Amino acid sequence: MLMMRKVLFLCCKVDCFYRGSAFPAASVAPEEKCLWDRSKKLAICGDFCVSPNVEGAIDSGLAAALKLRDNVSSL
């Protein structure tokens, strides 16, 4: 039982750290909100595509999901 508690504790532990050089100077896809390769049906999303914050990551993820939905359903 003690070992199980240790495993649960280790799985739930979250480390936060500051990545100063991880913030992009400019957005890479401000209009489309994600990077999309139609031939490979590959969407790349993240906060670096829109703006370096949580809202930018959410907007980019939603845009990528919509691109995939629209293109995969047309197969």
Write the pLDDT tens digit of every residue in 44-56.
999 889 988 899 9
Of residues 24 and 63, more confidently modeled: 63
The model's pLDDT over 5-62, given as tens digits with 9 standing for 90+, comes to 444 444 445 555 555 556 667 888 888 999 999 888 899 999 889 988 899 999 999 9
pTM across the whole model = 0.64
For 28, the token pair is 């890479």
Q: Residue 46 corresponds to which amino acid?
A: G
CB 67 within 8 A of CB 36: yes
Please name the helix (run of DSSP H) or strand (run of DSSP E) that holds residue 35, with its range, or none: strand 35-37
Q: H helices within the chain, ranges in order?
A: 2-12, 54-72
